Amino acid sequence: MNTKEPYIIISNMSYRYSDAKHYALEELNFTIDKGEFVVILGEHLAGKSTFCQILNGVIPNFKGGEMKGSVIVGGLNTQEVSVAEMAQKVGMVLQDPAVQLFTTKVINEVAFGPENLCLNVDEILERVRWALQVVGLAGFEERSPTSLSGGQQQRLVIAAALAMWPEVLVLDEPTSQLDPIGTIEIFSLVQELNKKYNMTIVIATHASEEAAQFADRILILHQHRLIAQGAPQEIYQNTKLLEQVNIPSPQVSRLATYLEERSLRFPEFPITIEQARKGIEQLVRRSENCGLQPSKRRA
Amino acid sequence: MSALIECYPGQSLFHRLDPRAKIVFLLLFTTVIFIIQHIYLVVAVLLIVIALWGIARLPLRSLGGYFKMLSGILVFLFVVQATLYPGKVILIGPIIPSSVPLIGGKGNITEEGILFGFFITARLLTMILILPLVSMTTPIDRLTLGLVRLGLPYQLAYITTTALNQVAVLKAEAGVIMDAQRLRAFSTFEKGNPVAKMKAYPLLVTPLVIGAMHRAQLVAIAMESRGFGAKGERVYIEDIAMKPSDWVFIALSVLCCLAVLLANFLS
């Protein structure tokens, strides 16, 4: 559903926290299209969180510091408009759901944003109903956020961001405190938002397997700079680079690299289990055609 | 301590009151307890507050840990007042024998001292018991709304209630830090003497404060990201309305306070 229309334009952007000697991000130059699903990978302290907060104007409007260049999101320069105004363009989800939930009922939590926007009550309730429906928490309105599971809490945080009707959803390591089931819940939900509503998604994460599965494009931040970007296939094939920046590839990609080193080349370099399965089937078929019979299984 | 500001859901008369009525009650009674100067009046207000605890059906066990922490301060206050208050009716002679230079002959336990000790202790106890009547019966969202409807700017009201909310979070974090210390065989907080405990406090307070500051910043980012502080008059999906019972409660609180003040100034 990528309509190839740049929605986020970052030009010559560098940022330094106040009192910091070095830049947290240096010389960033790229665009993100409307409806694109972008994953940002990088080591701890590479600048991922800083980048996320730059997209909705929390940096520099709230945190201060020195910013060069410009960040334009949906036609608005983040340095010129308030965070509250940007909040209607960019929804933000942080790592720890607990710090993002500060009311006593699910319904109040989701309504918090639209209430700040001074909408009328009927519209707020309609947005809340829609957002809870989308994240699969309809019927939880009167529950206390603290009574929900980790995955449910993070989905609630996403609902709270969705109620602002943003065009972009930025998620800063949203699954780092979740179990595998919670992680899949969040990625599946985000993928649905991307496909069904053409929402632009930017996720900073360590979850390589999920990045491979869902991303349109992967950006790699290393030592505060953007050092590589491209389709997951392209990025994960570059094993040298990934090793250099300490980013693990998906397990099937590592398997493919291992086999390639032993002269067994996949027809297409796999990054998901599904691709690897297809590749192995083709390899087996090819070897059968060459007259090699797979050994018979024991009964 | 968290128990004292945690909301206990219930259906009591106190739970059903409008938050504004409860805030007015809190302000009135806290002011009065500071003004009155007679022990029997303080005890009367204390009894009223205890009766209200009964009406609100709040779990008294929630006070257990709090009293354990406070008992030291209360006993200390009582002893200091009883021994150092300059009274005339001496019940027990000087604690320090007159043969001791400089401070010899001091420390008479007087009737006035004991009464004043009681007075101070009862006053402190009453103050401690008033706040939970409001905070334990009102969900934080409704308390914020109450403060806003009373005219407090929204941002200020939110800071107040969030601060109240954070006490519970801090308490939980302190528990986690102490558990982590216990796991590494650090047992001063359970077994150590008071001096060792005092010395050990930086080990608990430093990570707690650093953690709280980091957390506060994240909460602020989360709130800003959802339009907190946007221009215009904020809308609330829930509203509160004063019922006749709220007005009756306010009237009774005012009457009660006036009666206590009158008795204070007449006697």
Distance CA A114, CA A125 (A): 9
So where are chain A's domains? 1-89+168-176+192-231, 92-165, 254-289
CATH of span A1-89+168-176+192-231:
3.40.50.300
The answer on pLDDT for A28 being more than 90 is yes
pLDDT tens digit string along B3-36? 556 677 778 888 899 999 999 999 999 999 999 9
Q: Averaged over A255-259, what is the pLDDT?
A: 88
- Name the closest residue on chain B to residue A163, using Cα atoms: B226
Question: Counting one residue from A and one from B, how many pairs have CB atoms under 8 Å apart?
Answer: 97
Asked whether the beta carbons of A18 and A66 are under 8 A apart, the reply is: yes
Distance CA A142, CA A147 (A): 11
The answer on pLDDT for A35 being more than 90 is yes
Query: Regarding beta strands A168-172 and A90-93, do their DSSP bridges make them parallel or antiparallel, or are they unpaired?
Result: parallel
Distance from CA of A222 to the nearest CA of B (A): 24
pLDDT tens digit string along B114-168? 888 888 888 988 888 888 888 888 888 888 899 999 988 888 888 888 887 777 7
Model pLDDT, residue A31 = 93
Do the chains contact at B218 and A118, CB–CB below 8 Å?
A: no
Q: Averaged over A247-268, what is the pLDDT?
A: 87
Structure tokens at B52: 């209200």
Amino acid letter for position A242: L
Nearest to A99 among B215, B227, B230 (CB): B215
pLDDT bucket at B174, cuts 50 / 70 / 90: confident
Distance from CA of B232 to the nearest CA of A (A): 7
Distance CA A220, CA A233 (A): 14
Q: Which of A46-60, A284-298, B73-87 has the highest mean predicted lDDT (pLDDT)?
A: A46-60
The answer on pLDDT for A2 being more than 80 is no
Do the chains contact at A104 and B141, CB–CB below 8 Å?
A: yes
Asked whether the beta carbons of A223 and A215 are under 8 A apart, the reply is: no
Task: Please give the helix or strand (H or E) that residue A74 lies within, else none.
Answer: none
| pTM for the whole structure | 0.81
Q: Averaged over A204-210, what is the pLDDT?
A: 86
Which of B154, B226, B236 has the highest number of chain A CBs within 10 A, making it the mutation to test binding with A? B226
Asked whether the beta carbons of B22 and B137 are under 8 A apart, the reply is: yes
Distance CA A99, CA B169 (A): 10
Task: Please give the helix or strand (H or E) that residue A72 lies within, else none.
Answer: strand A66-73
Asked whether the beta carbons of A203 and A171 are under 8 A apart, the reply is: yes
Distance from CA of A261 to the nearest CA of B (A): 46
Task: Name residues whose C-beta falls within 8 Å of residue A253's C-beta, 6 or more positions apart in sequence.
Answer: A212, A236, A237, A239, A269, A270, A271
Nearest to A111 among B219, B222, B237 (CB): B237
Distance CA B98, CA B95 (A): 9
ipTM: 0.82
Do the chains contact at B227 and A58, CB–CB below 8 Å?
A: no
Minimum mean pLDDT among B33-47, B67-81, B98-112: which range? B98-112
